[in-house]
Chain A
Amino acid sequence: MMMRCVDPGPGFDTWRSAARRLIGEGVPPTEVLWESDGMGSLFGDEEAGAPETIKLVVSPAFIELARAVSCHADGRRWALLYRILWRIAKLGERSLLEIASDRDVAQARMMAKNVRREIHKMHAFVRFRKAGEDETGRECFVAWFEPDHFCIELAAGFFAKRFANMNWSIFTPKGCAHWMGEELKFSPGVERDPCNDPDAMDAIWRTYYRSIFNPARLKLKAMQAEMPKRYWKNLPEAELIEELTRSSANRMSGMIAEEARVVRPVPRNAYLGRLQDLSAVPEIREPAEASIQEIARMVQACRHCPLWENATCAVAGEGPADARLMIVGEQPGDREDLEGRPFVGPAGQLLDRAMKEAGLDRNGAYITNAVKHFKWVPRGKIRLHQKPSAGEIDACKPWVLAELAKISPDALILLGGTAARSLLGAGVQITKMRGIVDAPHLAKRVILTVHPSYLLRLPDEMRKEAEFRAFVKDLSLVL
């Protein structure tokens, strides 16, 4: 077996050309030694320019993985990448990268993860120091960082986007990056920080670090897991860690031993007074004696059934106090509960449309619900509407009756079974009784029809349209 020594060159692109050529010549991974000796390729220059004989198609996922792995400091990365490429391109393992637990893939993913983490830590722990301004007044900043991997080129784009309007340089032993507002430039690594001047802001930053630390919660392991010690020497705040840690136990026991402060009386203050008014629970009087505004305020404090506990608020009726038409629905839904207004969700929009077609003015009508709080059950990530029980409908009935008495409309529309149960009693079937019902104790004309949410739930478009027509027809019985 003949071993080939191949120089991968400085990075991903040079390795890629060499790997393409080797695949083209059918050289298996076991016969390639990837050696970066800094002396140039053993292929010789004429080889480097040799035409690539094959068309290699690989997934973007491989390119992305390989770009990250190629920044790793481990010398074995090139052989690993070539082995994976060979398996995908030559052995036909097209889905190889989906098998995260394959030995090669797991190793490559681990390397890529290390590199990505180092890039992330670079974005986090680079500390710029101000180095003055250029002749146009642009601020100039410098930073010194010591990464474990060759990730400056992958990491620098982030800084160019974030700090596009300042000039900056990041110096590292593994390559440097420079930005003057036009394009990113890279230069070879330097042994040590070329500009050692501290920044006056560092002291203020340390003040912040000292003050934001809570001495009652010492969690050094958690800190070091995310901010390993190797970064500390280049972080201006790190010099405080030891002192803050040492003094924390005393500070905490000092606080616990501190004498408790007495509670001072509430100062006279207009805003605090207003808060107390807001929090005051309105007295629930006989609803029949109250105005429509008072009913709305009292219903907020209603505790006749447990539905209030998981709702945002009670949703009272809405509309002019002298409305000639009153509409009663079932209960607020998700959106109504958030906005505190009836019929503002999808069912409300459908009702609007139907009323328009029936020649009715929604703004002239008083619109309310048989039950004032949103009843729901958890489902997936949402609150799923649930039908109110007979007990809940009955508990809420005094409020509906009070609204009806105050508005005393000529016409009343009952939408769906819950409204019917509330005002007409048990055992009413919408399908049998829809249209005009005889209930003179409620209003001169009472219409019973379906609830618009029923229309929303119909899956079949044809049927939806037919039902919508029927709904509009019912509504227009008012006129």
Chain B
Amino acid sequence: MTLDQKLAILADAAKYDASCASSGATRRDSVGGKGVGSAGGAGICHSYAPDGRCISLLKILLTNRCLYDCHYCINRRSSNVRRAAFTPEEAISLTLDFYKRNYIEGLFLSSGIIRSADHTMEQVVQVAKTLREVHDFRGYIHLKTIPEASPELIEQAARYADRISINLELPSQCSLDRLAPEKNLGRTKQAMGRIRVKLEDAAEQKRTGDKKLRHATGQSTQVIVGADGATDADFLARSDELYRAYRLKRVYYSAFSPIPEPSSVLPLAAPPLVREHRLYQADWLMRYYGFRNSEILTPEEPNLDLSLDPKLAWALRNRQEFPVDLQKAPRERILRIPGIGVKNVDRILLIRRHTSIRLEDLVRLRISLEKVKPFLITADHHPARYLLDSDRLLARFRPKPTQLELF
């Protein structure tokens, strides 16, 4: 099999992993080194595919042979997909050749599980180790790790990578039992816990002396949306727990999408892309806007409204919180106004120290007045009370009904 053929199979095998970040690494560059590469700024997306996803890292599996039988996965052992395997040298030269041409920010390496977790992990670590130590590669590396691999191997992975991740895939053990019988939520959480401890110890070491210490700076995970019966509340509660307990940098939500080798256990359907998008929005509200997951969703309403963004949905449910006076309100209340993002909240706090805020200020900050007017007070604007109380407010934000197309 040619390298080109292998790449076609092993990139196809890796495309269902949504993680794409290449930011947050320790700052470094190739000056004074022997190879290429820099990292540590914001990540760079070097291209975009027609699926709207960015291409930042060379995302490949070392091999798509796999002992596991996860029914949502094209690489499961029951699939008839063509199998291939890179030699470590092939994965390394592809990474370097792509990097030198500025196609990519670095390498994302995962693998099907062959022989055992430890054997697989050793192969993956070997590639990263050679890139770093032989080729002095200083670009970004993200390694997928296996919770059942020995903690020493996972720690080795963290020494060569900038980010490591373990995919949770499904939010509950009963879903895993049905769709991914080899995976175990408890073991995944324990591995994440150990990783968090190591990441914090390394950060502490860097702060207190060993400035040159090479170590990953974060971990992330992915969950699949729409493959099991989990509600959005289940997802957000699990994410909230993972962010708090293991300090994950990101939880990626990946809409379950049709694969070429469908499993009889899991019927295929078009991927729930809007739901995925709403989950990301809700996730941001928890991480950057001070929302608790219990505020975003309730036991009575365990799923996000697909037609409204969750921040607006919360505002419409909590009209007593509005209008918010931009001149006087504390930061956390301004953060809750739909249509104003974190950056603009901070700009408003600066501006109001020097001048009184008027609607035209908001226009120049490129805030959509149409969206925010019912919810805030400025020097020249008081929303009519009836606006906040009426059903017309909801109607104002619901997407307009669309005319059906003749076909």
B30 interface neighbour in A98, A162, A270, Cβ under 8 Å: A162
Among A3-11, A217-225, A435-443, A458-466, the stretch that binds chain B is A217-225
A165 and B36 within 8 A (CB): yes
Q: Would you list which residues of chain B between 266 and 310 have a CB under 8 Å from chain A?
A: 267-271, 273, 292
Distance in Å from the Cβ of B261 to the closest Cβ of chain A? 6
In the complex, chain B residues whose CB is within 8 Å of the CB of A135: none
B45 and A124 within 8 A (CB): yes
Distance in Å from the Cβ of B403 to the closest Cβ of chain A? 20
In the complex, chain A residues whose CB is within 8 Å of the CB of B89: none
Distance in Å from the Cβ of A207 to the closest Cβ of chain B? 5
Nearest-CB residue, chain B, relative to A97 = B350
Of B12, B49, B54, B196, most buried by chain A (CB within 10 Å of CB) is B49
Chain B 93-105, CB within 8 Å of chain A: the 1/0 string?
Answer: 0100110111100
In the complex, chain A residues whose CB is within 8 Å of the CB of B267: 260
In the complex, chain B residues whose CB is within 8 Å of the CB of A100: 347, 350-351, 364-365
Q: CA separation between A141 and B255, bound complex, in Å?
A: 39
In the complex, chain A residues whose CB is within 8 Å of the CB of B51: 213-219, 223
In the complex, chain B residues whose CB is within 8 Å of the CB of A160: 31
B354 and A98 within 8 A (CB): yes
Whether a CB of chain B sits under 8 angstroms from the CB of A312 is: yes
Whether a CB of chain B sits under 8 angstroms from the CB of A43 is: no
A163-B100, A199-B101 known; A338 vs B194 contact (CB < 8 Å)? yes
In the complex, chain A residues whose CB is within 8 Å of the CB of B100: 128, 130, 139, 141, 163, 166
Whether a CB of chain B sits under 8 angstroms from the CB of A445 is: no
A204 interface neighbour in B7, B102, B243, Cβ under 8 Å: B7
Whether a CB of chain B sits under 8 angstroms from the CB of A323 is: no
Nearest-CB residue, chain B, relative to A158 = B38
In the complex, chain B residues whose CB is within 8 Å of the CB of A166: 36, 100
Whether a CB of chain A sits under 8 angstroms from the CB of B204 is: no
A212 interface neighbour in B3, B15, B69, B117, Cβ under 8 Å: B15
Distance in Å from the Cβ of B25 to the closest Cβ of chain A? 13
Among B74-82, B126-134, B380-388, the stretch that binds chain A is B74-82
A313 and B55 within 8 A (CB): no
A267 interface neighbour in B3, B77, B184, Cβ under 8 Å: B77
Q: CA separation between A271 and B182, bound complex, in Å?
A: 11
A378 and B77 within 8 A (CB): no
Distance in Å from the Cβ of B40 to the closest Cβ of chain A? 10
Q: Would you list which residues of chain B between 33 and 59 have a CB under 8 Å from chain A?
A: 33-38, 44-55, 58-59
B182 and A272 within 8 A (CB): yes
In the complex, chain A residues whose CB is within 8 Å of the CB of B360: 101
Q: CA separation between A244 and B49, bound complex, in Å?
A: 9
B194 and A211 within 8 A (CB): no
B47 and A101 within 8 A (CB): no
Q: Which label, helix, strand, loop or mixed, suits the secondary structure of the B interface?
A: loop
A162 and B38 within 8 A (CB): yes
A164 interface neighbour in B4, B12, B33, Cβ under 8 Å: B33
A312 and B50 within 8 A (CB): no
A213 and B50 within 8 A (CB): yes
A223 and B49 within 8 A (CB): yes
A208-B58, A271-B117 known; A278 vs B187 contact (CB < 8 Å)? yes
Chain A interface residue count, Cβ-Cβ cutoff 8 angstroms: 92
B258 interface neighbour in A95, A209, A255, Cβ under 8 Å: A255
Nearest-CB residue, chain B, relative to A263 = B78
A245 and B50 within 8 A (CB): yes
A205 and B98 within 8 A (CB): yes
Q: CA separation between A130 and B241, bound complex, in Å?
A: 48
In the complex, chain B residues whose CB is within 8 Å of the CB of A375: none
Q: CA separation between A370 and B33, bound complex, in Å?
A: 55
Distance in Å from the Cβ of B165 to the closest Cβ of chain A? 17
Whether a CB of chain A sits under 8 angstroms from the CB of B390 is: no
A313 and B186 within 8 A (CB): yes
A207 and B50 within 8 A (CB): no
Q: CA separation between A216 and B80, bound complex, in Å?
A: 20
Q: CA separation between A211 and B262, bound complex, in Å?
A: 18
Whether a CB of chain B sits under 8 angstroms from the CB of A405 is: no
Q: CA separation between A221 and B36, bound complex, in Å?
A: 34
A95 interface neighbour in B48, B54, B354, Cβ under 8 Å: B354
A101-B364, A204-B4 known; A212 vs B55 contact (CB < 8 Å)? yes
B53 and A214 within 8 A (CB): yes
Whether a CB of chain A sits under 8 angstroms from the CB of B317 is: no
Distance in Å from the Cβ of B47 to the closest Cβ of chain A? 6
Q: CA separation between A272 and B257, bound complex, in Å?
A: 27
Whether a CB of chain A sits under 8 angstroms from the CB of B244 is: yes
Q: Would you list which residues of chain A between 124 and 160 have a CB under 8 Å from chain B?
A: 124-130, 139, 141, 143, 158, 160
Of B37, B100, B240, B257, most buried by chain A (CB within 10 Å of CB) is B100
Q: CA separation between A275 and B53, bound complex, in Å?
A: 35
Distance in Å from the Cβ of A168 to the closest Cβ of chain B? 9
Q: Would you list which residues of chain A between 181 and 236 have a CB under 8 Å from chain B?
A: 199, 201, 203-205, 207-223, 226-227, 235
In the complex, chain A residues whose CB is within 8 Å of the CB of B234: none
Whether a CB of chain B sits under 8 angstroms from the CB of A383 is: yes
A161 and B31 within 8 A (CB): yes
Whether a CB of chain A sits under 8 angstroms from the CB of B401 is: no
A209 and B273 within 8 A (CB): no
In the complex, chain A residues whose CB is within 8 Å of the CB of B97: 201, 204
Q: CA separation between A100 and B345, bound complex, in Å?
A: 11
Subset of 26 A-B contacts with CB under 8 Å: A99-B354, A100-B351, A101-B351, A101-B360, A102-B364, A106-B365, A124-B46, A126-B102, A128-B100, A141-B100, A163-B30, A164-B29, A165-B33, A165-B36, A166-B36, A208-B103, A212-B12, A217-B271, A222-B48, A245-B50, A256-B258, A263-B71, A271-B67, A271-B117, A275-B182, A312-B186
- Please name the 6 residue pairs, one residue from A and one from B, whose CB atoms are nearest each other, closest first: A219-B52, A222-B52, A101-B361, A338-B193, A161-B29, A216-B257
Which B residues are within 8 Å of any A CB, using their own CB? 3-4, 7-9, 11-12, 14-16, 29-38, 44-55, 58-59, 67, 69, 71, 77-80, 94, 97-98, 100-103, 115-117, 139, 148, 182, 184, 186-187, 189-190, 192-194, 196-197, 240-241, 243-246, 255, 257-265, 267-271, 273, 292, 347, 350-351, 353-355, 357, 360-362, 364-365
Starting from the known contacts A252-B258, A335-B197, 16 additional A-B residue pairs (CB-CB under 8 Å) come to A98-B353, A101-B364, A120-B44, A125-B46, A141-B100, A165-B35, A166-B36, A204-B97, A209-B47, A213-B51, A217-B53, A227-B47, A245-B50, A261-B78, A271-B116, A337-B245
